């Protein structure tokens, strides 16, 4: 019993920590396929790769409330104070753009692929802490045309993955925030939280006047076909700023519809003015990409406009607009596993080089080296242990290796094609 307990504890100690995950070779091959497809689209649109530090000062991450402190996995450092693992990339890229890329011409089109880390919320069903994302940031330009570029790039990316069972939830953070301003200050956060969780019962149970409760429920129901939702809000009593935001949203949807007709592919948009993102820096459009019901409504991507974020890192508080999105690669992987698009095996080696004796080992290494130079995309392996010819051929055939290159003592090569 004591021995069993020791073995069990030792086994547990060498498992990944809670919230982390190992990826085996086939998982990596499939994830790499997804990432490569997305990278190709980003580059076709003129986006350039950027890599930022995995570690940031916590004060950088939480500046101005851009990221909530409780989401940051923190590390204590004696020289730099509290450090944190980045919970997303936008704040890090904004900090880099302001402090390291001052004076560059705009717009700046940047893209990335990286791991991010987050402390799960106490109420979260998943305890996952490590996530892989790939996405884009468009900096230094605002307006409808920029919003449309990012959303159409998003659609092109999904098309490159041959993924068509998805829909776009589109909201407007500035408009929703201004509509929430009608509520008492102490009630704005509970209403916002209930909207974010799509919890109608929570709204009905809040201590609100009948008029404000009706208003909160009306906000909750601002979700559906874009023209219908826009028509509802148009009938509300709006101030000039809210009217401008609503008109900008209408113009964006009309532009996307026009582009969809020209492309022969209409974006599946649900306008959702109750949409609330986890990060508080969004100032304009916000959006989620969700898979269809057959895959469990997985969140594939999210993003939005943040026109004040970069000013948080500027010494003179100078800011300029930005918008971006990130793909969540793990749910993308889950959805694509249900299709036949992903590679279903790790790559097969082209040749196994076999020295006939210890005296032939140097020649075998040289032959393998020359083959790799001549065929840079090939996979050339070296046989590292002695086996009978029959055993070796059987193993090579089971692994579907295409050739065996037998190397004799005098360096003579005999290539056997299987």
| Band of residue 192 on the pLDDT scale cut at 50, 70, 90 | confident
The pLDDT mean for the chain works out to 89
For 214-235, what is each residue's pLDDT tens digit?
888 988 888 999 999 999 999 8
Q: How confident is the model over 115-139, as a mean pLDDT?
A: 87
For residues 120 and 18, give the distance between their C-alpha atoms in angstroms, rounded to a whole number.
11
Query: Residue 404 maps to which CATH number?
Result: 3.40.50.800
- 300/407 same-domain check: no
The candidate with the shortest Cα–Cα distance to 34, out of 158, 151, 131, is: 158
Q: How confident is the model over 83-100, as a mean pLDDT?
A: 90
Domain end position, chosen among 336, 370, 386:
336
In the predicted model, is pLDDT for residue 194 greater than 60?
yes
- pLDDT cut 90: percent of the chain above it: 59
Please indicate, yes or no, if residue 246 is contained in any of the structural domains.
yes
Q: How confident is the model over 31-45, as a mean pLDDT?
A: 97
Please indicate, yes or no, if residue 92 is contained in any of the structural domains.
yes
- What is residue 82's predicted lDDT score, i.e. its pLDDT? 85
Domain end position, chosen among 271, 305, 336:
336
- 39/155 same-domain check: yes
In the predicted model, is pLDDT for residue 1 greater than 90?
no
| Band of residue 369 on the pLDDT scale cut at 50, 70, 90 | very high
- 332/355 same-domain check: no
- 228/367 same-domain check: no
- What is residue 125's predicted lDDT score, i.e. its pLDDT? 65
Please indicate, yes or no, if residue 127 is contained in any of the structural domains.
yes
For 280-291, what is each residue's pLDDT tens digit?
788 999 999 999
| Band of residue 318 on the pLDDT scale cut at 50, 70, 90 | confident
- 219/102 same-domain check: yes
For 389-408, what is each residue's pLDDT tens digit?
999 999 999 999 999 999 99
For 230-275, what is each residue's pLDDT tens digit?
999 998 889 999 999 999 999 999 999 999 888 888 899 999 998 8
**Residue 396 backbone phi and psi in degrees, to 5:** -60, -40
Q: How confident is the model over 69-81, as a mean pLDDT?
A: 80
Range of the domain at 378: 351-417
Is the CB of residue 273 less than 8 Å from the CB of residue 175? yes
Q: How confident is the model over 169-185, as a mean pLDDT?
A: 89
| Band of residue 53 on the pLDDT scale cut at 50, 70, 90 | very high
Angle at 54 between CA 52 and CA 57, to 5 degrees: 95
Contacts for 313 with CB less than 8 Å, ≥ 6 apart: 60, 63, 94, 95, 98, 99
Q: Beta partners for 77?
A: 81
Q: How confident is the model over 118-130, as a mean pLDDT?
A: 78
- 369/412 same-domain check: yes
Please indicate, yes or no, if residue 258 is contained in any of the structural domains.
yes
Beta strands in 306-410 (DSSP E): 322-328, 351-355, 380-382, 403-407
The candidate with the shortest Cα–Cα distance to 156, out of 27, 289, 286, is: 289
| Band of residue 11 on the pLDDT scale cut at 50, 70, 90 | low
Tell which wins on pLDDT, 10 or 23.
Answer: 23
- 282/373 same-domain check: no
pTM of this prediction?
0.88
- 128/259 same-domain check: yes
């Amino acid at each position: 019993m004591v021995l069993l307990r020791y073995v069990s504890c030792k086994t547990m100690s060498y498992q990944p920590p809670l919230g982390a995950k190992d990826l085996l070779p086939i998982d990596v091959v499939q994830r790499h396929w997804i990432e490569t497809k997305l990278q190709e689209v980003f580059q076709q649109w003129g986006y350039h790769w950027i890599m930022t530090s995995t570690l940031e000062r916590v004060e950088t991450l939480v500046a101005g409330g851009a990221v909530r402190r409780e989401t940051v996995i923190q590390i204590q450092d004696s020289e730099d104070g509290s450090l944190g693992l980045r919970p997303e990339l936008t704040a890090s890229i904004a900090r880099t753009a302001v402090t390291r890329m001052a004076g560059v011409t705009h717009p700046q089109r940047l893209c990335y692929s990286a791991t991010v880390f987050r402390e799960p919320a106490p109420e979260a069903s998943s305890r996952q802490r490590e996530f892989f994302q790939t996405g884009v940031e468009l900096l230094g330009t605002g307006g409808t045309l920029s919003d449309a570029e990012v959303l159409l790039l998003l659609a092109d990316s999904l098309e490159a993955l041959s993924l068509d069972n998805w829909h776009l939830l589109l909201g407007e953070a500035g408009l929703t925030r201004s509509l929430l301003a009608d509520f008492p200050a102490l009630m704005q956060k509970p209403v916002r939280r209930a909207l974010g969780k799509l919890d109608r019962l929570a709204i009905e149970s809040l201590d609100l006047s009948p008029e404000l409760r009706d208003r909160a429920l009306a906000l909750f129901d601002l979700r559906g076909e874009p023209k219908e939702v826009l028509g509802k809000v148009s009938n509300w009593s709006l101030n000039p700023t809210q009217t401008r935001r609503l008109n900008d949203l209408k113009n964006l949807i009309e532009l996307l519809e026009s582009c969809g007709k020209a492309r022969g592919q209409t974006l599946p948009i649900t306008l959702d003015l109750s949409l609330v993102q986890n990060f508080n820096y969004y100032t304009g459009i916000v959006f989620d990409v969700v898979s269809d019901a057959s895959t469990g409504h997985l969140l594939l991507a999210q993003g939005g406009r943040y026109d004040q974020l970069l000013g948080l890192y500027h010494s003179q508080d100078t800011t300029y607009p930005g918008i971006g999105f990130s793909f969540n690669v793990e749910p993308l992987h889950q959805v694509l596993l249900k299709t036949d698009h992903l590679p279903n095996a790790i790559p097969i080696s082209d040749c196994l080089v076999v020295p006939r004796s210890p005296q032939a080992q140097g020649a075998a290494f040289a032959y393998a080296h020359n083959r790799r130079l001549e065929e840079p995309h090939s996979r050339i392996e070296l046989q590292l242990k002695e086996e009978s010819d029959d055993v070796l051929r059987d193993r090579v055939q089971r692994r579907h290796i295409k050739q065996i290159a037998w190397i004799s003592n005098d360096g003579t090569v005999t290539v056997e094609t299987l």
